[in-house]
Homo-oligomer: A and B are copies of this chain.
Amino acid sequence: MSDEKVKVAIIGFGTVGSGVAKILLDSVDEIYRKTSVRLELAYVVDVDLDSPRPVTLPNGLLHNDLQKVLADKEVSIAVELVGGTGVAADIQKKLLKAGKDVVTANKALLAERGEEIYEVARKQGRCVAFEASCCGGVPVIGAIRTGLVANRISAMYGIVNSTCNYILSEMSGQGKEYSVSLKEAQKAGFAEADPTLDVSGADSAHKLAILAGLAFGGQVQYKDISVEGIDEIQLVDICYGQEMGYAMKLLAIAEQTDKGLSLRVHPSFVNKDELLAQVYGSFTAVSIFGDAVGHTSYYGRGAGMMPTASAVVADIIDVARGNAKRIFEVTPGFGRKALPQQLCPREEMVSRFYLRLSVEDKPGVFFKIAKILGDRKISISACLQHESKSDDCVPVIIMTHKARQGDMNQALKELAQLQVVRDRPVCVHVVSPPKDGLFGDEHE
């Protein structure tokens, strides 16, 4: 390790870019003391030179011309924080072709067009580092690639989107409707003006594509992930779930089944005693299950200026040390080509389910419902019907044992066609992270 300065450029001077600049300006000596890596912020590039930012750059650092960075051979590491899947892709490719290693938090780009980027990196003998792309400052990518590398990973259950977890926490904790909670999240800075990418589950699926690719060692396509967001969640279902001992979380799940790798993002009822049920507000957590290590979990702030900057700067240091490149170039699906994963078809996925049916309050109704479920081999584990004040229509809540998704889809169609069932039946997955089977249960 030499004492030479490592020159760094930041492309994209938004929230996270400001955080990275702040650490590089404030903590360079501290980082040198701990790592013997001497970083120097050489350029910050953004089309917008004028907007005020939460950090003040020394004169001459801010530019609007990427060409300066590309042409400066002394800049060895460039951070792409522009975001999105369009111009960011061109920027990353240009940087790699100019001989820079790239550090990025851009999960959308890596999930949707990663193969294009990695191809360029491979050809150029450069690396892409992306710890900041998943769960902000929580070093979960490092854990998968280094700490857990001796394991065959069997499953990964994650709360990976801060915005959704904040909204669901507000709904659960304060009894607020979805629309109210979303507005509060926007006001508090936890949701964008257009929250679609987050609340639709797409952002969670982006992160899952990256994490599952790393954990299962094969190419995972974003488009192969089945995605359901939180935008149609109703407060009434959260309340019934709580009454039955469950918390509502948006989970990103990747898990090996005997039918292949199951990849999905959906709202989930999780038993309130599970660790994932204890993750509140804008925090995120990922539980990873390995054959040797059993259940491990990683928790922290999944977004925000400084937490994400923490991961970006960790990656800059890891690239400067040479360690990031050594790992990138041998990682299947990233620095090396990988075969596609065998996937579990959506219909074959097995889960427990929560059903809410609005039914007419008259004899024989429960029999009809139970028959449809029974015919599909869907077994009822619990049910709940409160005495109704209305004599017209009452909600019936049913929790099932494990059932095939395909069977449940069929049952839902038939239930919706029953004359005694009003409105569309509501169906939510009920999820139990696996027992790791090592010794002693964690919930005893």
Contact = CB atoms under 8 A, between A and B. Distances in A.
Given A27-B150, A310-B150, A314-B149, A326 B329 contact: no
A148 interface: yes
Nearest to A138: B296
Give the copy number. Answer: 2
Contacts of A190: 440
Given A295-B301, A299-B296, A310-B290, A149 B31 contact: yes
Given A31-B149, A147-B142, A150-B23, A306 B293 contact: yes
Size category of the A interface is 35 or more
Interface string A148-163: 1111100000000000
Interface stretch (A110-118, A194-202, A278-286, A354-362): A278-286
A343 interface: no
A137 B37 CA distance: 28
Interface in A267-319: 275, 278, 280-283, 290-301, 304, 306-307, 309-311, 313-314, 317-318
A19 interface: yes
Contacts of A300: 293-297
B293 A307 contact: yes
Contacts of A87: none
Contacts of A275: 278, 299
Nearest to A141: B147
Contacts of A139: 142-143, 146-148, 296
A297 B296 contact: no
Interface of A: 1, 19, 23, 27, 30-31, 33-37, 131, 136-139, 142-143, 146-152, 166, 169, 173, 188-190, 217, 275, 278, 280-283, 290-301, 304, 306-307, 309-311, 313-314, 317-318, 321-323, 326-327, 329-332, 436, 438-444
Given A34-B332, A137-B290, A292-B313, 10 more contacts: A23-B150, A27-B152, A37-B330, A139-B142, A139-B143, A142-B146, A143-B143, A296-B300, A304-B438, A323-B327
